[in-house]
């Protein structure tokens, strides 16, 4: 939803588009940093307390963003928003595994995917209406409302867990290395997008991020209470399912970011119509995830992932060759076709990670969300870079050829996820989990 606020922010504060993009990038980076912290917070203070407190803080950060007086203040508010969301997401998924018995967890994960599909599908439509009718600040007010409503619901219905270890050490050094690496990664991608030929300014974040991730990986393997159980990634099933999730995140977030922009720039739709074009796909995604919830405990996860991701990739190819000659209904149908595939793949990947390896429920939930969000961040920034490839830094219009390159690149990443699903299948030792 907030992606539709980028251009109104550019116009109101007269800032460059690549600077306004930090409104999205900073949120995603902060969310990715909060994800691995969630397991420690939930085990230390309990799932219910964690979700209630950070939902309330998210609500306050949303109100702060709505009242921001300049871009810097808005970006800082978005960082707080993202960190709170990063804490809540894995705790929510972990709560499902605490509250539901093993034989009902497929249905639970399917319903969880249904809820996230409903939010992701309707948000651009709501954002488009708000952008056209009430201004970009109203989006952040609207974001505060469901968080405020969710606080008493979580307090009344979430499982009341308590930590068995009252004083658990936090891996502050690991958290610092992760924060530095994520920040340099986002900065590096922005530098590439606005590169003017200065090699030093580009190499610093690239080398720094690579070094930071390496040091983080080494530390998490050696520390007693790691922020992320990197050892579980040594298991082929966990590594391949996390890779699938990462690549699926690139396609999901990247295409969801590009489709409204494409609809406005190339198809000449209003912001409202650009958001509306995603709504039929959202309905298909919601219905599909309900069906997938029934099938998760009965069908092969490998088949569901592979077929679903392949259909999603095919829809990206169709989007690449869409043109202004296509009707609104035809364009919306292509989007809905991709969401049909996503409805099978998304919950299957969630369950595959939770069933793989020896990591705890909280660690597995953290890896699920972390890999998807990292993929989403990479997808938005890298596909936008591909779309802008060959343009001067001050050119803001992408053009049809740029969008075509980006959608094809998204499809290639998704087909790579299908190959990763084959690796997951060959590494799976227990036929019952396939």
Same domain (yes/no): 224, 246: no
Same domain (yes/no): 220, 240: no
Domain count, the chain: 2
**pTM, rounded to two decimals:** 0.74
Do the domain assignments include residue 164? no
Same domain (yes/no): 240, 329: yes
Do the domain assignments include residue 167? no
Same domain (yes/no): 207, 302: no
Same domain (yes/no): 189, 337: no
Which residues constitute the domain of residue 210? 172-228
C-alpha 300/C-alpha 296 separation (Å) is 8
Same domain (yes/no): 298, 412: yes
The CATH number assigned to the domain holding 377 equals 1.20.1250.20
**434 residues of the chain, pLDDT tens digit each:** 887 777 788 778 887 766 777 887 788 778 878 877 887 888 888 888 999 999 999 999 999 999 999 999 999 999 999 999 989 987 887 788 788 887 777 778 777 777 777 777 778 778 888 888 888 899 999 999 999 999 999 999 887 765 554 566 788 888 888 888 888 887 777 676 666 556 666 788 888 888 998 898 888 888 877 777 777 777 777 888 888 888 988 888 888 778 877 887 788 887 778 778 888 888 888 888 778 877 776 778 888 889 999 999 999 999 998 877 878 888 899 999 998 998 888 788 877 776 765 555 556 666 776 777 778 777 877 787 787 776 555 555 667 788 888 899 999 999 999 988 888 888 754 444 44
Same domain (yes/no): 99, 202: no
Same domain (yes/no): 291, 270: yes
Same domain (yes/no): 25, 153: yes
């Amino acid at each position: 939803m907030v992606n539709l606020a980028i251009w109104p922010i550019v116009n109101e504060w007269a800032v460059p588009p690549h600077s306004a993009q930090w409104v999205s990038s900073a949120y995603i980076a902060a969310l990715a940093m909060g994800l691995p912290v969630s397991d420690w917070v939930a085990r230390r203070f309990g799932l219910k307390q964690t979700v209630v407190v950070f939902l309330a803080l998210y609500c306050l950060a949303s109100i702060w963003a709505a009242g921001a007086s300049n871009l810097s203040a808005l970006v800082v508010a978005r960082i707080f928003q993202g960190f709170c969301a990063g804490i809540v997401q894995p705790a929510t998924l972990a709560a499902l595994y605490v509250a539901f018995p093993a034989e009902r967890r497929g249905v639970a994960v399917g319903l969880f995917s249904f809820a996230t599909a409903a939010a992701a599908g309707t948000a651009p439509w709501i954002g488009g209406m708000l952008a056209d009718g009430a201004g970009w600040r109203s989006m952040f007010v609207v974001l505060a409302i469901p968080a405020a409503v969710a606080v008493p619901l979580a307090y009344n219905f979430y499982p009341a867990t308590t930590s068995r270890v009252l004083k658990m050490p936090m891996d502050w050094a690991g958290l610092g290395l992760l924060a530095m690496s994520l920040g340099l990664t986002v900065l590096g991608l922005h530098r590439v997008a606005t590169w003017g030929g200065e090699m030093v300014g580009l190499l610093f974040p690239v080398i720094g991020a690579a070094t930071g991730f390496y040091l983080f990986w080494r530390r998490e393997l050696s520390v007693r209470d790691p922020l992320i159980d990197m050892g579980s990634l040594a298991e082929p099933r966990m590594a391949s399912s996390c890779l699938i999730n990462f690549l699926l995140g690139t396609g999901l977030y990247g295409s969801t970011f590009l489709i409204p922009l494409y609809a406005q720039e190339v198809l000449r739709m209003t912001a409202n119509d650009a958001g509306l074009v995603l709504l039929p796909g959202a309905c298909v995604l919601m219905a599909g995830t309900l069906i997938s919830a029934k099938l998760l405990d009965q069908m092969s996860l490998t088949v569901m992932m592979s077929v679903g991701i392949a259909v999603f990739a095919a829809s990206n190819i169709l989007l690449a060759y869409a043109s202004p000659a296509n009707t609104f209904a035809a364009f919306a149908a292509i989007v809905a076709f991709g969401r049909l595939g996503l409805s099978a793949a998304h919950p299957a990947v969630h369950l595959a990670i939770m069933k793989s390896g020896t990591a705890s429920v909280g660690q597995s939930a953290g890896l699920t969300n972390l890999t998807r969000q990292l993929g989403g961040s990479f997808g938005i920034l890298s596909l936008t870079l591909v779309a802008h490839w060959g343009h001067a830094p001050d050119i803001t219009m992408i053009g049809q050829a740029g969008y075509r390159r980006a959608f094809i690149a998204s499809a290639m990443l998704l087909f790579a996820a299908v190959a990763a699903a084959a690796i997951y299948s060959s590494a799976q030792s227990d036929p019952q989990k396939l």
